[in-house]
A and B are shown apart, each in its own frame.
Chain A
Amino acid sequence: MSAETLTKETGEIYVSQTRRRVLGIVFLGVALLIWLVFMRGLDPEMTSTMRLYPGGSTVVVEDWEFNTLNALRILAVGCAVVGAYQLVRGFKNLTGLAFALIGGMFIFAFLSWAASGGRLNLAGMLRIMFIRSVPLTIGAMSGILCERAGVVNIAIEGMMLTAAMVGTIVGSLGTLWFGLLAAVLTGGLLGLVHAVMSIKYRTDQIISGTVINIFAVGITSFVSAKFMQAYPEINSSGIFKPYEIPVLGQIPVLGPVLFRHNIFIYSMIIFVILLTFLLFKTRWGLRLRSVGEHPKAADTLGINVFKTRYMAVILGGMMAGFAGAYFTLGSVGRFDSAMTAGRGFIALAAMIFGNWTPLGAMVAGLLFGFSDALAASLALLRVKIPSEFLLMTPYLITMIVLAGVVGRGQMPAADGQPYIKE
């Protein structure tokens, strides 16, 4: 039984007493951690410097320099106040927000401590966070499209890898836009294969997805070694140039972080808004979700379950293809074998973390992106943590979040079950 239930009368989220107290104690623990660990042995004169524009930016603002010890004091007291309120009264349906607030304060305290006596490029980190989140968020939306219609898609990785390769080849021979189109179509084609196997032939969907992943690794390393090595001109597509949005791009701090990217980052935001609207505000979305929740009922009401599932899985494949194109046409401009590096599986975690909603998936994607940026920045600041542990950060966060925060996710009821028409 989940710890949180929706009471019918008020629509308020009821948070159990135990959960409230445990969270309160955790919050107070964070305050203590900041006070006892970070502030320990810190020189009172020590300052932290945050740079607020990424390298290469035209919008230059002054560095933000502050006294580390004072900042940590304020943050520790802040955490303690939030924790005490949570312990005594509880934030009720704002608990999630309180959790995010504590997380934010803790991360900022950590960064201030790590940057004490040095300089950290905060804007650069946030920029990298957005860039790194792109394949995860778009990949997760591929999973959402499929699973909301009741088909598990663990082939996101394979679809991305194949699409990345096809996108590079077509992009090198034609234009980048053709490359992008080809990548999306490749993803759609693999989506069709997955759909035929899992909907028509009712293969175990996990196996069908695994086959596509194995196939993708084989075909891409084959083509890469056999053809792309011999003809380097088919492996030099180049990348989409960043485009600065007029006016918005000139806002200090936020401009270069948010509004000076290539089309993939903008597309991610557009897709999240579009898919949220389509899934939850339109008849199309309602039908798609009904097929994933209770296909029999949907069928009784005259919805074509098979057609809806085919459409969802093919669209999901196209979405994965778009995410795959990011690796070559949006990031590096050439294909290397295994370059998606398991990001398709992290995208699945982002989907679960985001509770099968596009917005949640993006939040998850940004969190993973942030942990990547954080790991790189901490290594540069020579924080005394072994690099192997820093590289684990994204996976640690995945485990903490999956186990502790979204333990009560609501997966579509008919997810993974083939539909048999009687």
Chain B
Amino acid sequence: MKGKLFATFALLAVVALLVAGCGAADTPTPEVTEPPEETEPPVPTATPTPRPGVGVKACQVSDTGGTDDRSFNQFAWIGMERANVDLGVEIRFLESTGEADYAPNLNTFVEEDCDMIFGVGYLLNDALLVAATENPDVLFAGIDTWDTADNLLGSLYSIEQATMLAGYLAAGMTETGIVGVYAGINIPPVTAFSDGYYMGIQAYNEAHGTDVTLAGWDPVAQEGLFTGDFFDTDKGRTMTETLLDAGADIIMPVAGPVGAGSLAVMAERDAGLLIGVDTDWSSFFPEYAEYVLGSALKRMDLVVFDQINAMVGGTFEGGLYFANLENGRVGLAVGSEWIDLVPASLMAEIEALAADIISGAVSAAFPREAVE
């Protein structure tokens, strides 16, 4: 009796752990279409698209939220998938379910002989630096991380440049005169979105003499509306209902998949518009496209692909990579359903603003020093 009990229980526990492990480790590993080993002597002729990355392994550790979050993690993963298709690089992926996972996940990939390991997310900065110092032979690259080494590339995004354009757009389109924002956690790469959004609204107010206000973010106090995580989609619903009840009509959720809760509320009430972040939400959520006014893009896919390409070509260098409007790694995409509905004059003003940001005539960063 007792043996049977134990056997059943143990079996269940093993199955559970196995599945839990698979869920993280085994996820999308598209097969490498070309066999890495060639038995015949290489024929030096017609290979129209050379796939220089065959035999190279690129691995990615995500932050919490998963590669299917239709936002942050997923966009970084798209860059990996492109490297797989275009370059023939083998790609692997591990999802972090909490901060305690970062270092073990990075180490797992070191042991799996990955040639290049990406850490996606600001919170992975320290774990990346430790891993890069301990493993000088492996190349590391981070998204939203700032520490660097010879084998560690950090990348910083001037996302406030993109959200400034989005804020200008929102201020030009609001009917209530109140624009809203809520975010995941109060950390700089997240609040940079809100800061730029605020600056865009101010720029619109100055140009048009209007008094559009921002609910959910106080750039002076650096405080506002936060969900506290990046996975509680039901809380996204609460935040959106609160903002809509307070009179805001265009809302930007800076919280990854949590923003899906906003779209559900907007569709239910048939009220409000959304500014997506990271990816173009009108193409990621086609069923809700009519509620997506625009998206502030953070082209992590391009940055990830560029770095893999550099590694394959042997030109990878550690250091800091800056993504901004000028090199097209951040930007504004108007929602697919709204392209024809945004007035041409407003679009022209936004384009002029973009040109001013690139030339340096206008700064999208909130002038914190001036306030203090």
Binding site for B on A (CB under 8 A): 51, 54-56, 119, 121, 123-125, 127-128, 131-132, 135, 193, 197, 201-203, 207-208, 211, 214-215, 217-226, 228-230, 236, 238-239, 241-242, 327, 331-334, 336-339, 341, 343, 372-373, 376-377, 379-380, 382, 384, 386-388, 391
Beyond A123-B245, A372-B235, A391-B226, 9 extra complex contacts between A and B, CB < 8 Å = A54-B245, A128-B238, A222-B27, A225-B95, A239-B268, A331-B233, A332-B233, A382-B221, A387-B224
Q: Chain B residues with Cβ under 8 A from A338's Cβ? A: 64, 97, 231
A-contact bits for B64-80, CB 8 A (1 contact / 0 none): 11111100001000000
A-contact bits for B1-29, CB 8 A (1 contact / 0 none): 00011001100110111111111101110
Q: Chain A residues with Cβ under 8 A from B8's Cβ? A: 197, 201
B287:A121 contact, CB within 8 angstroms: no
A222 to B19, CA, bound (A): 7
Q: Chain A residues with Cβ under 8 A from B64's Cβ? A: 338
B22:A339 contact, CB within 8 angstroms: no
Contact flag A225-B28 (CB < 8 Å), given A331-B237, A332-B261, A337-B66 = yes
B68:A224 contact, CB within 8 angstroms: yes
- B133-151 residues with Cβ-Cβ distance < 8 A to A are none
A339:B242 contact, CB within 8 angstroms: no
A339:B233 contact, CB within 8 angstroms: yes
B23:A339 contact, CB within 8 angstroms: no
Residue of B nearest to A213 (CB): B16
A127:B241 contact, CB within 8 angstroms: yes
A-contact bits for B202-240, CB 8 A (1 contact / 0 none): 000000000000011010010111101101111111110
A225:B12 contact, CB within 8 angstroms: no
A339:B27 contact, CB within 8 angstroms: no
Q: Chain B residues with Cβ under 8 A from A128's Cβ? A: 238, 241-242
Contact flag A211-B260 (CB < 8 Å), given A56-B244, A332-B234, A377-B242 = no
Q: Chain A residues with Cβ under 8 A from B241's Cβ? A: 54-55, 124, 127-128, 131
Q: Chain A residues with Cβ under 8 A from B368's Cβ? A: none
- B228-286 residues with Cβ-Cβ distance < 8 A to A are 228-229, 231-239, 241-247, 257, 260-261, 264, 268-271
B238:A376 contact, CB within 8 angstroms: yes
Q: Chain B residues with Cβ under 8 A from A372's Cβ? A: 235, 238
Contact flag A221-B264 (CB < 8 Å), given A51-B245, A373-B242 = no
Contact flag A218-B23 (CB < 8 Å), given A202-B5, A236-B287 = yes
B264's contact among A127, A135, A332, A391, by CB below 8 Å, is which?
A332
- Residue of A224, A334, A376 contacting most chain B CB atoms (<10 Å): A376
Contact flag A333-B19 (CB < 8 Å), given A339-B234, A380-B243 = no
B264:A331 contact, CB within 8 angstroms: yes
B238:A132 contact, CB within 8 angstroms: yes
B28's contact among A119, A125, A229, A241, by CB below 8 Å, is which?
A229
Contact flag A219-B23 (CB < 8 Å), given A197-B8, A201-B9, A327-B233 = yes
Residue of B nearest to A331 (CB): B234
Residue of B nearest to A383 (CB): B223
- B186 contacts A by Cβ under 8 Å: yes
**In the complex, number of A-B residue pairs with CB atoms less than 8 Å apart:** 197
Contact flag A379-B66 (CB < 8 Å), given A54-B245, A331-B234, A388-B186 = no
- Between A and B, 28 residue pairs with Cβ closer than 8 Å are A131-B237, A197-B12, A201-B5, A203-B5, A214-B13, A218-B18, A221-B97, A222-B20, A222-B27, A225-B67, A225-B68, A229-B28, A229-B68, A229-B74, A236-B287, A238-B287, A239-B264, A239-B268, A242-B268, A332-B236, A333-B260, A334-B260, A337-B65, A339-B232, A377-B242, A379-B216, A384-B221, A388-B228
A222 to B68, CA, bound (A): 11
A122 to B218, CA, bound (A): 22
Residue of A nearest to B266 (CB): A56
A221 to B21, CA, bound (A): 10
B257's contact among A121, A125, A217, A336, by CB below 8 Å, is which?
A336
A55:B269 contact, CB within 8 angstroms: yes
Contact flag A336-B231 (CB < 8 Å), given A224-B68, A242-B268, A387-B226 = yes
A336 to B66, CA, bound (A): 8
B67:A229 contact, CB within 8 angstroms: yes
A384 to B223, CA, bound (A): 9
A382:B13 contact, CB within 8 angstroms: no
A337's contact among B68, B218, B243, B260, by CB below 8 Å, is which?
B68
Give min CB distance, A168 to chain B, whole Å: 11
B245:A341 contact, CB within 8 angstroms: no
Q: Chain A residues with Cβ under 8 A from B23's Cβ? A: 217-226
B242's contact among A193, A201, A334, A380, by CB below 8 Å, is which?
A380
A218:B16 contact, CB within 8 angstroms: yes
Contact flag A336-B260 (CB < 8 Å), given A128-B241, A341-B234, A387-B226 = yes
A280 to B332, CA, bound (A): 60
Residue of B nearest to A54 (CB): B245
A341:B235 contact, CB within 8 angstroms: yes
A241 to B267, CA, bound (A): 10
Q: Chain B residues with Cβ under 8 A from A242's Cβ? A: 268
B271:A56 contact, CB within 8 angstroms: yes
Q: Chain A residues with Cβ under 8 A from B17's Cβ? A: 214, 218
A218:B20 contact, CB within 8 angstroms: yes
A221:B228 contact, CB within 8 angstroms: no
Q: Chain B residues with Cβ under 8 A from A391's Cβ? A: 226, 228
